[in-house]
Structure 1
Amino acid sequence: MSKYFEGNDRSCLSPSKVCTASHHASGSQVVSAMAGGRDRVGYLLKQLQRASCMCPAHSHTYTQGIEHAAMGKTDYAFEMAVSSIRYGEGVTKELGMDLQNLGVKKVCVMTDKNLCRLPPMQAVLDSLTKNGINFQIYDNVRVEPTDQSFMDAIEFAKKGEFDSYVALGGGSVIDTCKTADLYASSPESDFLDYVNAPIGKGKPVKVALKPLIAVPTTAGTGSETTGVAIFDYKELKVKTGIASRAIKPFLGLIDPLHTLHMPKHVTANGGFDVLCHALESYTALPYNQRSPCPSNPMNRPAYQGSNPISDIWAIHALRIVAKYLKRAIRDPEDKEARANMHLASASAGIGFGNAGVHLCHGMSYPISGLVKNYKAKDYNVDHPLVPHGLSVVLTSPAVFTFTAPMCPERHLEAAQIMGADISTAKTKDAGLVLADTLRKFLFDLNVDDGLSALGYSNDDIPSLVKGTLPQERVTKLSPRPQTEEELSALFEASMKLY
């Protein structure tokens, strides 16, 4: 099995070197194709470019991007898109005023039946009532939504003819509300039209959505910042989703008081999602190595690969996780820890919402979708459930052992942030160092001992691999490509952690 984790020790290619190499190659190809006067024109333009000021404000080097885009191979640009965010204790009381300022007439409030009975819901209703907002409540959101639960919410939204939406809850609620808003705004669309390819058609969203205000009550998905909505597609028994900047919330109201109502295991699994969002987006394939280059900016995916801006948010979130997650889990009254984890969730969301995630998430979708009898603690549900954060983190030691040879420095940096001593570590050992650090972190929190603790065995590996293969939206962002045999080895290595 260890052979699947071997690889060369080359570091991540410098983005500038990648772009420069691609540019020179494309330039030579273009020049060789020119004839007569065009040769001379091309030569003179290159001489002028070399002689000009090279600073971004005054140079003419923008032509590199134009030539590179025309090649249609790897991308040459990245785009940062994020919802507006407002953070602060008690900020939920401003919700009604925000809706009033928007001039809305009829609001759909989406939540789940558990939250309906808790103080965060009361805070929302108090604000709406105080400000005279007309609203209807949909409280039938399913924890870990399915295509059917999405369609039920869509039907409610279509009948209600709402002009705005409020989502109160974790990622399940916010993702359900995004989807209801999308399809109510595009009533003629088939459900699979916007679902990610190859499961759906992956059509770009061209319709205008109604404003959606997200009020997250968990510290995990970062869904209040992203244009992504995830669900279980029951026919294939895998998770998939919809990814488009067009569906990101208009505003995220991050009120850390709401996290005080999260049970221990909900806090833990949400935190594991933040951890993997940060690690995966930081180690994802660089944006200028992702292909194909879009022919139109609207076709550039929400998940674009690691980039200099998303890197900042990913590392910031990772530092918060390392400092506060254990505290937030062990002491529900630790307001400082829970408030910081709430902010870390949004920070990681900004990072991965634009850079994307890769193998931990791609492999997690069949782990959740193929669940047999496992029911997570602290989740008040009547169906078998592997929480998303748990399904993601259990493969992380194996995944980062596998990906480390492609950018070992980043893996070592992550391990150091998580508490490892890397003073004598060698780059060839980066994956093992990070994997051991993650195992110790999970062991200290008494996390289930691998996939076998969820009811899986080696006999399930072919089905788990089959469920991973359609997740190209994320698996292709892995810095290291993977074969079916390598995916099998990763699942096998994740059966037991300790």
Structure 2
Amino acid sequence: MKCVREEEFPVDQFGSVRCNFSGFLWIMAGRNRVVQLLRRLEAVTCRCPAHSSTFQQAASSVHSTDYAFEMASSNLRYGEGVSREIGMDLQNLGARSVCVMTDRNLSRLPPVEVVLESLEQSGVGFSVYDSVRVEPTDTSFKHAISFAKSESFDAFVAVGGGSVIDTCKAANLYACHPDADFLDFVNAPIGLGKPVSRVLKPLIAVPTTAGTGSETTGVAIFDFEPLKAKTGIASRALRPVLGIVDPKHTLSMPERVAANSGFDVLCHALESYTALPYNQRRPRPLNPLHRPAYQGSNPISDVWSRQALHVVAKYMKRAVRDPDDLEARSNMHLASVFAGIGFGNAGVHLCHGMSYPISGNVKTHSAKGYSVEHPLLPHGLSVILTSPAVFNFTAPICPERHLEAAEILGADTRRVKREDAGPVLANTLRQFLFELQVDDGLGAVGFSKDDIPTLVKGTIPQERVTKLSPRQHTEDDLAQLFEASMKLY
């Protein structure tokens, strides 16, 4: 049979294609009808090896679990003073017009000064955008996107915490897709979740906090104001080409910023290590392009997540209590990177999914150590407040991992039974938070039981992460978790 082009076939009003070969009229059903037919055949076909077929496998693969995982991360450079090299990096990339993004507080501090001096010394032209909002919103993202579209930038540099790096990722994305609607790339079901179709401009990230790990990932998180909940954009295309991790930058973090950033590291590590295994995640993608960035726990992410937990256990309290402890703050900066590589591929689950409506519905709480003019519940704090309840809930599914995490964080688990893994990890976390003077639950930051229906409603659209919980959950389960998190101690 000769090969023919699709356009040679006339299509009728039912989506079928009529083809005439050697005088015979054949009706070829449209793709959707073929798939439907194969699924019906699958339901009645014998499944024994003698009668199974590859057609069955093709039709049912969308319902099957995945069988593979991918590892992706930015190139990383670590060391004291490496920020001075950024001008040469951009010169090597051939950049002539660079968009530098930061926030107003950082714009007057050494990390930004060092980066701008490096660009000037290398003769690289740049424009500075210093209006990034701490805990960005769709409105603040759009403002930064407009700036990115205002000039023909050929590279981007983000100097700051996760808010700055995430904002810069979004600005780069939409500047390279000038005709895209804002919701085109936003995660479903809030947005359309379209795959990124173009190569973005090079982005170099210079993190100044030890928390988000955004320098390693292809994720950008923001508050979607219409829903009063966080969502984001997730694509490997968003990953910075280089993350410059200069531990000296963390010395400028106030105590509570160091604490809340560290809590984000802790939850990244715990959630990715206890996430649904990659080979239990559904659906299996029919095209590797559609394999999600968050794939479930896997043997490689496990290594990074465990190592991050060890570093947090050893250095976090020191890093919070003594801002001049360069060893402790340097190691927490590395822990942020380790956890970023781990969760950037494995994903997070309930603590993060539940945190998005918590931070999106903050009323009057103003966190210490943050110079902002709006109510603020820092991301790391909104994540950690539900952690004792969440890990008590998920422990029955993979108790060994929960016990291992508790042991790493200092618990004596030698005589603990598997069925007690949840309470042991929950109590270990409560003690850890108490020693670091964390607010006593959601009630202490302005929420009450009357807010629980709103918080549950805001968690439901976060399926991209909540579906990676090792334990399936209902809306009633979420309500009970929020209630259990109203008071910690």
Taking structure 2 as the reference length, the TM-score comes to: 0.89
- Counterparts in 2 of 1:191 and 1:71: CA distance versus 1, 3 Å: closer
The equivalent residue for 1:265 is 256
Q: Indicate which of 305, 317, 323 corresponds to 1:332.
A: 323
| Count of matched residue positions in the alignment of Structure 1 and Structure 2 | 443
Gaps of 5+ in 1: 1-26, 43-65
The equivalent residue for 2:448 is 457
SS of 1:224's partner is helix
Contact kept? 2:83, 2:114, Cα under 8 Å = yes
SS of 2:395's partner is helix
Q: Distance in 2 between matches of 1:281 and 1:293?
A: 19
Q: Distance in 1 between matches of 2:59 and 2:345?
A: 21
Task: Quote the offset at 1:29 in angstroms.
Answer: 2.5
Q: Distance in 1 between matches of 2:120 and 2:197?
A: 34
Q: Indicate which of 441, 448, 463 corresponds to 1:472.
A: 463
**Is 1:488 matched with 2:475?**
no
The equivalent residue for 1:110 is 101
Q: Indicate which of 305, 310, 332 corresponds to 2:301.
A: 310
The equivalent residue for 1:249 is 240
Q: Indicate which of 305, 312, 315 corresponds to 1:321.
A: 312
The equivalent residue for 2:39 is none
Task: Quote the offset at 1:68 in angstroms.
Answer: 11
Paired letter, 2:267: C
The equivalent residue for 1:94 is 85
Paired letter, 1:307: N
Paired letter, 2:137: T
Contact kept? 2:275, 2:468, Cα under 8 Å = yes
Q: Distance in 1 between matches of 2:393 and 2:321?
A: 31
Q: Distance in 1 between matches of 2:307 and 2:430?
A: 21
The equivalent residue for 2:36 is none
Contact kept? 1:72, 1:294, Cα under 8 Å = no
Contact kept? 1:68, 1:76, Cα under 8 Å = no
**Is 1:80 matched with 2:71?**
yes
Q: Distance in 2 between matches of 1:31 and 1:425?
A: 45
The equivalent residue for 2:5 is none
Paired letter, 2:397: M
Task: Quote the offset at 1:459 in angstroms.
Answer: 0.3
Taking structure 1 as the reference length, the TM-score comes to: 0.87
Q: Distance in 2 between matches of 1:103 and 1:474?
A: 38
Relative contact order, CA 8 A, sep 6+: which one is greater? 1
Task: Quote the offset at 1:160 in angstroms.
Answer: 1.3
Task: Quote the offset at 1:71 in angstroms.
Answer: 6.1
Task: Quote the offset at 1:85 in angstroms.
Answer: 0.3
Task: Quote the offset at 1:73 in angstroms.
Answer: 1.1
- Counterparts in 2 of 1:453 and 1:245: CA distance versus 1, 3 Å: same
SS of 1:406's partner is coil
Provide runs of 4+ in structure 1 moved above 3 Å.
66-72
Percent sequence identity is 70
Q: Distance in 1 between matches of 2:271 and 2:83?
A: 31
RMSD of equivalent CA atoms: 1.5
Q: Indicate which of 51, 60, 75 corresponds to 1:33.
A: 51
Paired letter, 1:33: H
- Counterparts in 2 of 1:469 and 1:71: CA distance versus 1, 3 Å: closer
- Any residues of structure 2 matched to 1:359-378 within 5 Å, and which? 359-378=350-369
Contact kept? 2:99, 2:148, Cα under 8 Å = yes
Q: Indicate which of 219, 234, 239 corresponds to 2:230.
A: 239
Q: Distance in 2 between matches of 1:30 and 1:152?
A: 59
Q: Distance in 1 between matches of 2:292 and 2:249?
A: 32
The equivalent residue for 1:217 is 208
Q: Indicate which of 287, 293, 297 corresponds to 2:278.
A: 287
Q: Distance in 2 between matches of 1:171 and 1:296?
A: 31
The equivalent residue for 2:266 is 275
Task: Quote the offset at 1:31 in angstroms.
Answer: 2.7
Q: Distance in 1 between matches of 2:196 and 2:370?
A: 34
**Is 1:176 matched with 2:167?**
yes
Task: Quote the offset at 1:161 in angstroms.
Answer: 1.6
Paired letter, 1:309: I
Task: Quote the offset at 1:283 in angstroms.
Answer: 0.1
Paired letter, 2:386: T
Task: Quote the offset at 1:159 in angstroms.
Answer: 1.0
Paired letter, 2:276: L
Q: Indicate which of 144, 149, 156 corresponds to 1:153.
A: 144
Q: Distance in 1 between matches of 2:48 and 2:362?
A: 53
Contact kept? 1:69, 1:76, Cα under 8 Å = no
Contact kept? 1:72, 1:295, Cα under 8 Å = no
Contact kept? 2:137, 2:222, Cα under 8 Å = yes
Paired letter, 1:236: L
Paired letter, 1:395: T
- Counterparts in 2 of 1:134 and 1:28: CA distance versus 1, 3 Å: farther
Gaps of 5+ in 2: 1-44
Paired letter, 1:389: G
Task: Quote the offset at 1:32 in angstroms.
Answer: 5.0
Q: Distance in 2 between matches of 1:127 and 1:71?
A: 50
Task: Quote the offset at 1:236 in angstroms.
Answer: 0.5
Q: Distance in 2 between matches of 1:418 and 1:67?
A: 45
Task: Quote the offset at 1:105 in angstroms.
Answer: 1.3
The equivalent residue for 1:196 is 187
Q: Distance in 2 between matches of 1:167 and 1:33?
A: 57
**Is 1:417 matched with 2:408?**
yes
Q: Distance in 1 between matches of 2:370 and 2:59?
A: 50
Contact kept? 1:110, 1:141, Cα under 8 Å = yes
SS of 2:318's partner is helix
